Amino acid sequence: MLDIKFLRSNPDVVKENIKKKFQFEKIELVDKVIELDKEYRDAKNRADELRGQRNSISKQIGMFMAKGQKDDAENAKQQVKDINGELEALEVKETELEAEVRKIMLVIPNIIDETVPIGKDDSENVEIEKFGEPFVPDFEVPYHVDIMESLNGIDLDSARKTSGNGFYYLSGDIARLHSAILSYARDFMIDRGFTYYIPPFMIRSEVVTGVMSFAEMENMMYKIEGEDLYLIGTSEHSMIGKFIDSIIPEEELPKTLTSYSPCFRKEVGAHGIEERGVYRIHQFEKQEMIVVCKPEDSKAWYDRLWQNSVDFFRSLDIPVRTLECCSGDLADLKVKSCDVEAWSPRQKKYFEVGSCSNLGDAQARRLGIRIKGKDGNYFAHTLNNTVVAPPRMLIAFLENNLNEDGSVNIPEPLRMYMGGKSKIEK
């Protein structure tokens, strides 16, 4: 959420930013919110003025009564009564206008970084850099579900019966591999100085609206019926929410956290749920990294976060690339974002396995996350990035480690989590 003072002083900058994000229908909101904000401030100023008058007149009532000036006292009481009536109406107006201003401010997108490429959607994202050499074996690489089924590692049919499309049973060595990847990711991030967390898997609505846009919430979040609770779509939601309404001393920053959680997503939109596969599903598990830092440090942390993901995948010898998200592909709260994509030997192309985002002070402003500095308090910057999200990551892993006989090699870093196994065989 933008600072209303910034919007008030820089309406043309805000409008131009909206154009860069191709959200032309929101341009008129800038003038509307400026007008509503003026009404709110006028009402507040008038209310403050009336409160001052009321206090002054109230003091006179006692003085009149002490002097026996009953008529003057009654007149003063009537004035106070009239003021209270006007004040009550103004306070209602204040509350309504303040809520309306906030509602609009929540949908006006954050100011994107000047380095973000301008484009309408993800088809115009820009490749930054490749890491590792993409390799296509001499033999045909089967579809990832076929690989898993050949190793008795997945059951989609039973999951459809219990839960519907977008769910799965993992079993045997594939299930163990899934857990091994998460365990390795946890230790990988701990070794890089991050503190490990397991957060709540449900959060209240005030946290949901603090960490994401309304469009994202509608397309992603599952609401718990009869409760003010939502299932998290990623542990970032809980972890940023952990700092709601807090004031963090400067010397305690940065906060570097890595968290495990299951994730639940409706996946409403153009992509949809796969009938047969585990790329886009309703339930998965993920290891995340989160940073809360001073504004001047967020750009450096952004580069460190995506590099962590690249290093993680390269430690398992999986080729990856980074892709800069264009303006039209950025969620409204994001200042800058890039995707990490893994190589698919079967498709002979890269596909998304993680996303790194710098949200500036947008989440902090919504949730009231402040830093206590020498010259006063100011809003923190927040960032997040995926370490790894199996089972999607399993697709890249299985395809890049598959042998012609159908067995799958286990890289050295994972073997200690797989009971010393160097290979999964039929």
Q: Identify the CATH number of the domain in which residue 53 sits.
A: 1.10.287.40
Within a domain: 17: yes
> Cα 393 to the chain's mean position, in Å?
20
| pLDDT tens digits for range 152-184 | 999 999 999 999 999 999 999 999 999 999 999
> Cα 286 to the chain's mean position, in Å?
14
| pLDDT tens digits for range 304-350 | 999 999 999 999 999 999 999 999 999 999 999 999 999 999 999 99
Decide which of 41, 70, 105 is a domain's last residue: 105
Same domain, 132 and 97: no
Report the C-alpha gap between 265 and 280 in whole angstroms: 9
Percent of the chain at pLDDT above 70?
98
What stretches of 24-69 show up as alpha helix (H) in DSSP?
A: 27-66
423-424 vs 408-409, strand pairing mode: antiparallel
Q: What is the pTM of this model?
A: 0.89
Report the C-alpha gap between 257 and 192 in whole angstroms: 10
| pLDDT tens digits for range 217-241 | 878 899 999 999 999 999 999 999 9
278 contacts 422 by C-beta, under 8 angstroms: no
> Cα 97 to the chain's mean position, in Å?
27
Confidence of residue 65 (pLDDT cuts 50, 70, 90): confident
Same domain, 415 and 270: yes
Within a domain: 110: no
Decide which of 73, 105, 137 is a domain's last residue: 105
Within a domain: 207: yes
Within a domain: 10: yes
65 contacts 116 by C-beta, under 8 angstroms: no
Domain total for the chain? 2
For 128, residues 6+ apart whose C-beta sits below 8 A from its C-beta are: 321, 322, 323, 324, 338
Decide which of 55, 80, 105 is a domain's last residue: 105
Same domain, 95 and 141: no
Report the C-alpha gap between 290 and 317 in whole angstroms: 25
CATH classification of the domain holding 374:
3.30.930.10
For 279, residues 6+ apart whose C-beta sits below 8 A from its C-beta are: 351, 392, 395
Same domain, 163 and 36: no
Percent of the chain at pLDDT above 90?
83
Which structural domain, as residue segments, surrounds residue 417? 122-424
